Amino acid sequence: MSHQKRRKPAAKNKPQLNNDPRALVTGIIFFLVEVIVISGAYSPFRLPKMALALGGLALVIGGWSTFRLWRGRLSVPASPLVAALVALPALQALSAVWAQVPDLALRQAFVSIIWVGAALWLSSFDPEERRRVLLWGVWGAVASGVILLGQLSNVDEIGVRGVASGDRLGLTGLAGNPSDLAMAGLLFLPLLLPGVLAKPRKWIRWLLPAFLVLTAMLTQALTGLAAIGLMGLGCIILMRSKKAWVLALALAVVAVLAISTGPLRSRIQVEWTQLQKGNWYNLLSAREDGWTAALTMIENSPILGVGAGQYSREFYPARTTWLTNDKSVGKRGELATHFEWAHNDPLQLTSELGLVGVFWMVFFVLALARSGPLKDPVIVLASLAWTPFLLLHYPTHLAIGLIPAVLLLAERLHPAPRVPVLSRRPTIRRAVAVVVGAIAVTVCVTQITDLRLDRWRGQTEALLSVAEKAPLPLRRQIIQKIETEAGARILHSKSSAPWLWRIIGRGRLLIGVPEEAEAAFRRSAALEPHEEAEMGLGLSLASQGRTAEAVYYLTRACRVNPTLISFIAQDSLRESVRMNVHRTTTRTSSPGQK
C-alpha cells in the first residue's frame, strides 16, 4: 500500500499530451501532399500536390471555421503580420479589374486565401501540435528522399512507375524535379534545426536534418547547395563555439570529398566551364527567359502590373518584345519553351502587381520582423534557406514550398492576441459561416475537376503520339475521339480552353485538314498568346501554301526558341524561317507589310 501511495502523486503530475485531432488531420494532409504522384497525368507531381493541399485544407479549415463561426467561437490572431497576409489576396482580387483575364486573378486570390487561412489555422495549435504537423511533412520529404536513393541504386521496385524521369541522373523522387525535391527538404530545416542546436550532443536529433541535407546534395541542385552553405554558416554563428567551427571544418572537408568523387563533380565542372566562358544563360539554366519577360511586363505596367495570375499568359508576348527590342534570338536548347513562373518570386510578384506589389513585400517583411525577435534562430535560418530558392526558383507557387512557409508563419503568429470574429452579430456571422462552407466545398470540387482534366490531358498526349504513327483510318478515329472530348471540356472549363484548342489543332493537322487546324490555333491564340499556338498556326498556313503568312508566325515562335525549327518538315520553309530568325537587326514584318 505504501508503494501505491507514492506512485499516485507521480501519475497526477505526469504531463498530459493534447491529442488534438486537427493536428493529426493536417499532418496527414501535409504528408500526402509530399508523396502524392499521379502516374500518366500531364503534370504528375506538381498539380496533384497543389490540388490535394488546396482541396484538403479548404475542406478541413472551411469545415472547422464554419462550425466555429456558427457557434460564435471563431477567433483570429491580431497583428500587423495578419494584416499583411490578408492584404495579399485582397490586392490579387482587386487586380482582376485591370487584368486581361480576370478569372485568373480571382483564382490566384482564392489560392492565397487558402494558404493564409492555413497559417491562421496552424497558429491556433499548441507548439507541440505544430511540431507533430511539421514531422508529418518532414517524413513525407524523407519518403521522397528514399525513392531518390532507390533510383540512384538502380532498384526498379522502389522507383515511380509510369512517370518519365528528369534528365539529371533520371531523378524524380516523389517531387518530380530535383530542385523541387531539394527545396522540399531544405525549407523544413529552419523549423527542425533550432531544437537540434539547443541540445547538440544528442546525436540522434541530427539524423533527420542530415538525411534531408544528403537528399538535397544528391539532387545536384545548385540552389540547394547554396541554401545548405548559407544555413551551415548560420548554424555556426548561432552556436557560437569553437567546437562548431571545428565541426563545420570537418563537414566542409567531407563535402569537398563527396563532391570531388561523386556525381556532383561532373555537374560542377560543367557549370565552372560555363562560368569561364561567360555563358551566364546556360549557367542559370535559361532563367534569363523568365526574368526578361518579367522585366518587360514591369516596364509596360510599372504601377499596377499585369494582374495576379497573368504571368504565364503574358510570358510569350513579353519575351518576344524583349528579343525584338534587344535585336537578339532566344537560346533555349530544349523543345519546352513556355515559362509558367519567372524563377524569381519577388520579380514575378512585381510583374503581376507592379509597384503595389513592391510596397506589399516591404510591408510583409516589416510585419514579419515585428512579429517576434529578429535573432530568433528560426527566422535567421529561414532567411538563409529561403533566399536562394526565392531568387532562383518558385517556392511560393508550389505546395511543397508553401507547407514550410505556413508553418513558419504560424509560429510567428501564435503569440499574438486573438480576437473573436463577429461574436456579437449572430445573423451576419451565420450567413458568413454558410458562405465559408460553400466556398470550401466549391474549392474541393474544383480541385477534383482539375485533377481529372490533368489526367485526361496526359492520356491525350499519349494518344496523339500513337496517332502520329497510326494508319490514316485509325488516326482519324483517334483524333475524332480526342476532339469530341476536348470540345465537351471547353464548355465546362473556360480557363483550360487555350490548351484544349491547341490539342484540337494538333489533331486536325495530323489528319490533314489544315484549314480547320488554322481555325483552332487562331482561337487558342486569341484566348492566350502562346508560342505553341503560333507554331501550329504557321504549320497550318504552310500546309495551305500560304508561305508568307506561315514564315511570319513560324519566325515569331522560333525566335523565342530556335530549337522549334526542327519541327518544320519542308526544307525551303525551314531555311526561310532560319534566315528570318537570325536576321536580328530589323523587326520581322507582319504578313502583307514591307
Q: Tens digit of pLDDT for each residue in 268-277?
A: 766 667 666 6
pLDDT tens track for 297-328: 999 999 999 999 999 999 999 999 999 998 88
- 400 and 299 in a single domain? The answer is yes
At residue 4, the pLDDT reads: 47
- 75 and 136 in a single domain? The answer is yes
Whether 594 maps to a domain, the answer reads no
Whether 142 maps to a domain, the answer reads yes
- 405 and 483 in a single domain? The answer is no
At residue 3, the pLDDT reads: 47
- 73 and 177 in a single domain? The answer is yes
Q: Which of 409, 426, 443 is the last residue of a domain?
A: 426
Whether 544 maps to a domain, the answer reads yes
Whether 535 maps to a domain, the answer reads yes
Domain range holding 532?
A: 470-581
Whole-number percent of the chain with pLDDT over 70 = 86
CA neighbor of 100 nearest in space, from 299, 290, 300: 300
Confidence class of residue 170 from pLDDT cuts 50, 70 and 90? low
- 474 and 416 in a single domain? The answer is no
- 528 and 417 in a single domain? The answer is no
- Residue 102, judged by CB atoms within 10 A of its CB (0-12, 13-18, 19+), counts as middle
At residue 594, the pLDDT reads: 30
- 263 and 357 in a single domain? The answer is yes
pLDDT tens track for 399-423: 999 999 999 999 999 999 999 888 7
Whether 407 maps to a domain, the answer reads yes
Whether 514 maps to a domain, the answer reads yes
How many domains is the chain built from?
A: 2
- Measured between alpha carbons, how far is 292 from 99 in angstroms, rounded to an integer? 20
- 77 and 211 in a single domain? The answer is yes
Whether the per-residue pLDDT at 348 is higher than 70: the answer is: yes
Average pLDDT, the chain: 87
- 275 and 418 in a single domain? The answer is yes
Distant-in-sequence, close-in-space partners of 318: CB < 8 Å, separation ≥ 6? 292, 293, 294, 296, 297, 300
Q: Which of 426, 457, 478 is the last residue of a domain?
A: 426
- 483 and 422 in a single domain? The answer is no
* Residue 360 near residue 353, CB atoms below 8 Å: yes
* Residue 315 near residue 341, CB atoms below 8 Å: no
Q: Which of 411, 426, 441 is the last residue of a domain?
A: 426
Whether 449 maps to a domain, the answer reads no
At residue 39, the pLDDT reads: 86
- 157 and 264 in a single domain? The answer is yes
Of 550 and 237, the structure prediction assigns the larger pLDDT to: 550
- 487 and 574 in a single domain? The answer is yes
- Measured between alpha carbons, how far is 123 from 414 in angstroms, rounded to an integer? 5
pLDDT tens track for 101-125: 999 999 999 999 999 999 999 999 9
Whether 587 maps to a domain, the answer reads no
Q: Residue 484 is part of a domain; what is its CATH number?
A: 1.25.40.10
